[in-house]
Amino acid sequence: MATAEQSHLAWRKLVPYLYDWFACHSLSWPSLACRWGPVLEQGAHSNKQRLYLSEQTDGSEPNRIVLVSVDVLHARTAAAEHLQGFAEHTASPHVGKPLKTLVHPGEVNRMRELPQHPHVLVTHTDSPSLYVWNTDTQPDRTGVKSTSPKQQSVADLVLEGHKQNAEFALAISNAAPLVASGGKDAKVLVWDLSSHISTSLAAAKGGRDSTPGAGTKLKPLHTLLGHSATIEDVCWCPGSSAELASVGDDFSLLLWDLRRGGAPVLHVASAHGEQDVHCVAWSPHREEMLVTGAADGSLKVWDRRKTASPLFAFHYHSQAVTVVEWCPQRPGVFASAGEDRLLCVWDLEARGGDAEQAAKRQRSAIPPQMLFQHAGHRAPVVDFQWNPSDPWTFFSVADEAGEGGGGTLQLWRVSDMVHRPEDEVLAELEQYREYIITGNEAALQKRPAEPAQQPAGAAGSGDRTGATDAAEGGVAAS
């Protein structure tokens, strides 16, 4: 079996073939939570986009939220030599200097933006309270090194109601400014920020009072009871301001409808057997479909109309799955990541391909729904997100403090050779046939046509191309 270093080197050799764009940025401190922000500027070859980064320090400096600008290259503009020659332990030229820094009261375990107001963040820390931040009006505390409470940023709004720490389960509806949270008290709480959007969240009040938590306090609108242990994750049904789901250490998946009171409308007991369920995500394209990930590395896809058994069950991750998220643009595609250092992209509409491909997959234990593996991190992947403004583009972060570093942020886009329909890819490769066979560079002078652009929600053919099989085969040992 290959060592972790050998697997990493094997993955690195394949980067020019697997990725359309890749950037690696070394962080001074680990980041447990990141989020894409709005696009700030559109250019000829790249877009400038805001990124929210958390910094988890060792106590010698304050914990922070850092706003940075990143250059997201357009598709098919990154040169192969740049893809091959990235540095792993330095700052990336694609990541700019901090635009603004907030000093956070405690480490940031989870962070979400309001879809209706992407400059407003909600954060979880090791506390029963949640914090709401208007990043546009908060004072800039870049350069603050003191850990004194007087130097902390003051949240614009503090969400109260949990009786014990609420550390990870956090979600915001895209239909209304409703915040859902779960905690160690086994409660799911929901707050309505509507009345504060035009008042406290619009005012530049951060920093007026140097006492942490001095912002306006808000009690929950709903309290949902049904779990019997710590709630690990919660999500809203996309487009709904009433339906949500939660999972936890009681091994359960619960579905809720705020219109029907504070008890669950569906209870899937032992969703992954006797395993803590760490994460849940609701499909933005099919309201009946959810995916869950568990402590044993298993993934399950559910149809809420018939939960006696899952639609799909995958046992590919070798350690706990901690994050799952559906692709914003393409139905049936989601990604998962966790403690085995892998970020896997799955296509539920994929077929197994021809007999030779199916036999190869069976020998390598790769499920036919496995579309792509990102194996670029040397430590557990603690967070990732699909870019809502740029199809097939991700950020992913890993906590490498145990490896002698701070953390690693990676920005990347899957090559369209992986996810486009096979006939399109083969037609394009045919134009390179002479060069592939002979190596004659004169054959490259005729530039191939750009691939046909699919509608944002269009699915591919389902059968994967040879490029995809090479991608999977090359990183499966990682």
Reported confidence tier of residue 448, pLDDT bands at 50, 70, 90:
low
- Looking at residue 452, what is its pLDDT? 47
Q: Which segment of 201-215, 226-240, 456-470 scores lowest on mean pLDDT?
A: 456-470
SS3 467: helix
**Are 415 and 466 in contact, with CB atoms under 8 Å apart?**
no
Establish if 455 belongs to a structural domain: no
**pLDDT for 476 beyond 50:** no
Establish if 453 belongs to a structural domain: no
Q: What's the gap between Cα 395 and its chain centre?
A: 7
- Looking at residue 474, what is its pLDDT? 40
Beta bridge partner(s), residue 185: none
pLDDT tens for each residue of 402-425: 555 689 999 999 999 999 999 999
Residue for token digits 């390179």? 432
Closest to 52 measured CA to CA, from 343, 409, 296:
409
Global confidence as pTM: 0.88
- Residues 6 or more apart whose Cβ sits within 8 Å of residue 331: 283, 285, 286, 349, 457, 459
What is the mean pLDDT of the segment spanning 158-168? 98
Q: Provide the number of structural domains found in the chain.
A: 1
Establish if 452 belongs to a structural domain: no
- Residues 6 or more apart whose Cβ sits within 8 Å of residue 139: 153, 206, 207
- Reported as type and span, the H/E element at residue 361 is helix 355-364
CA distance 380 to 343: 10
Establish if 177 belongs to a structural domain: yes
CA distance 51 to 387: 10
Reported confidence tier of residue 429, pLDDT bands at 50, 70, 90:
confident
What is the mean pLDDT of the segment spanning 176-197? 97
Beta bridge partner(s), residue 394: 386, 412
Domain harbouring 424, CATH code: 2.130.10.10
**pLDDT for 359 beyond 70:** no
Reported confidence tier of residue 200, pLDDT bands at 50, 70, 90:
low
What are the Cα distances from residue 345, in Å, to 19, 47, 235, 342, 464?
Answer: 13, 24, 20, 10, 13
Residue for token digits 């509409």? 349
Longest dimension (CA), the chain: 71
Domain carrying residue 272: 4-447+462-475
**Are 325 and 338 in contact, with CB atoms under 8 Å apart?**
no
**pLDDT for 347 beyond 50:** yes
Average model confidence (pLDDT) across the chain: 88
- Reported as type and span, the H/E element at residue 55 is strand 46-55
Establish if 457 belongs to a structural domain: no
CA distance 248 to 169: 9
DSSP-based helix, strand, coil % in the chain, nearest 5: 15, 35, 50
**Are 135 and 121 in contact, with CB atoms under 8 Å apart?**
yes
CA distance 334 to 371: 10
Reported confidence tier of residue 208, pLDDT bands at 50, 70, 90:
very low
* Residue 54 falls in which region: left (phi positive, over 0), alpha (psi -120 to 50) or beta: beta
**Are 309 and 437 in contact, with CB atoms under 8 Å apart?**
no
Q: What secondary structure letter does DSSP report for 258?
A: G
Q: Which segment of 167-171, 216-220, 442-446 scores lowest on mean pLDDT?
A: 442-446
Q: Which segment of 327-336, 353-362, 469-478 scores lowest on mean pLDDT?
A: 469-478
